[in-house]
Chain A
């Protein structure tokens, strides 16, 4: 069992303080994810943005924020569970470095990092991390987006991406494409929007609308050579290597999203249906999920390339959260979903986690492979 030390408890408590603010914003973001003006100045959003920005690239902001720049995946996850207890869609709607920031910090050179993080000052710019493609999901080995040499030392990007968070409103982000045929030729390009040849549209999703999932098309988008990430690294560490590490991290974050949402759902039912059977059981399952993801995060801190525990936690935490949502639907009573729109929204939001960063079937394959390699014992 993972016991939280003083620092981790402080992270948890800071994020726990944000829960009510996030819940208060949740329904309006679900109803109209384009209407964000009223949320930009949320102190919670400022805290999230600054916390996810390396100290050297932070803007100075009045208000004396106690920042908890994560020293570890575990620290990140302890906070994420609490924010997800608030509202995960509101969390996703926050203009901040997000997943692209994880990758930029890992593979970006100082100039790229400065460009990326400085662009986010002010809290009105979203980022995107464009890997999934229509027809291929996040199967990177079949990636079709290509970076063709433009004859002047740069590249032109052609292709399309789908299910990309904030793709249609992000100001800066990463797009993965191929410079050649081999797996090592897959590279991430930093793209600032608007850009010639770049078009994007929001997808109308069932829930989790704050994530602003989008589809993108690239028809000769110019990419300067110095906008490819990882150029300063050995060839084997330039593209997919970073993506694998980032995806392992992201899978635990999605697991935390699922666990936090399951907790929110259970607490909601307990508050509004005082004698609902199964509350203690649902809470116990969510607590087990929390322990699992804490352990998976600690494992990832020890070995960022080993994805067994990240996949195992996503597979089981997402399933647990779905089951909790089903229990809640039964427990809230006839027409309860119409009378309780926040609960109804969470029962839609929680479905999104199945489809993010690898479906359950993909996780099953990863888990089985890792198990056969002995990862369960190491």
Chain B
């Protein structure tokens, strides 16, 4: 499993969210496994004629939401493992955008000083990097549903912290940072948090 987790993280970091999602869902019967009425899938994996919902940001990440009709399955081992692989994908996505943020903050200056040297900014970069290490450790062992939900809520928060590092550019849909918004949307379709937040 650890190799697969590493692969999912690496693919998301190098190739993007949709490629990571494809790796995490590899071999999964999506409509049978998903916990809700829709499940995020890479656009390229949608069967012909299947019912889907689209989303303006997810479209740009080549991700759509596949309808999963009928009674939904109880949380089981398969879903828990998908949740872990998806967490690895999200870790890779946060890392990809953190790298971008550091490059951006190193170039942008305020008062002749790169933003990356401002203490509040440096502190956030340090926090996110440390929390990423914790998240990677968290996902490395099988997780109970509550712990999995907790991990994904932490990843939502990490994504938001990285988003803020871009300033207002972090709110532009054409910016790569949108992957972090879509990552949270993807997790909403695959992780049952039962109100834990």
Contact = CB atoms under 8 A, between A and B. Distances in A.
Interface of A: 31, 132, 135-137, 139, 142, 162-163, 203-207, 213, 273, 276-278, 322, 326-327, 329-339, 344, 348, 351-352, 354-355, 359-361, 364-365
B188 interface: yes
B157 interface: yes
Nearest to A273: B195
A329 B172 contact: no
B171 A352 contact: yes
Contacts of B190: 334
A66 to B, nearest CB: 36
Interface stretch (B2-10, B91-99, B134-142, B178-186): B178-186
B37 A204 contact: no
Contacts of B195: 273, 276-278, 330-331
B184 A329 contact: yes
A348 B181 contact: yes
Contacts, number: 115
Given A330-B153, A360-B164, A364-B120, A335 B173 contact: no
Q: Which among A276, A344, A348, A361 has the highest number of chain B CB atoms within 10 Å?
A: A361
Interface size of B as a range: 35 or more
Nearest to B115: A361
Nearest to A331: B195
B117 interface: no
A179 to B, nearest CB: 22
Given A276-B195, A334-B35, A337-B185, A351 B171 contact: yes
B3 to A, nearest CB: 28
B112 to A, nearest CB: 10
B160 A322 contact: yes
A136 B197 CA distance: 36
A359 B164 contact: yes
B69 to A, nearest CB: 12
A206 B36 contact: no
Nearest to A355: B168
B57 interface: yes
A361 B121 contact: yes
Contacts of B194: 333
Given A276-B195, A322-B160, A326-B153, 10 more contacts: A206-B57, A330-B197, A333-B36, A334-B190, A335-B39, A336-B36, A338-B38, A348-B57, A351-B171, A351-B181
B43 interface: no
B86 to A, nearest CB: 12
Given A334-B191, A335-B36, A142 B110 contact: yes
A354 B165 CA distance: 11
Q: Which among A139, A205, A360 has the highest number of chain B CB atoms within 10 Å?
A: A205
Contacts of A332: 188
A339 B197 contact: no
A331 B197 contact: yes
B24 interface: no
B168 A132 contact: yes
16 contacts: A31-B56, A204-B173, A205-B173, A206-B57, A206-B172, A333-B192, A334-B34, A334-B35, A335-B36, A337-B188, A337-B189, A338-B38, A338-B55, A338-B185, A339-B36, A348-B57
Contacts of A142: 110-111
B173 A206 contact: yes
Contacts of A338: 36-38, 53, 55, 65, 185, 188-189
Interface in B15-52: 34-39
A330 B193 contact: yes
Contacts of A344: 55, 185
B196 A335 contact: no
B76 interface: no
A6 to B, nearest CB: 39
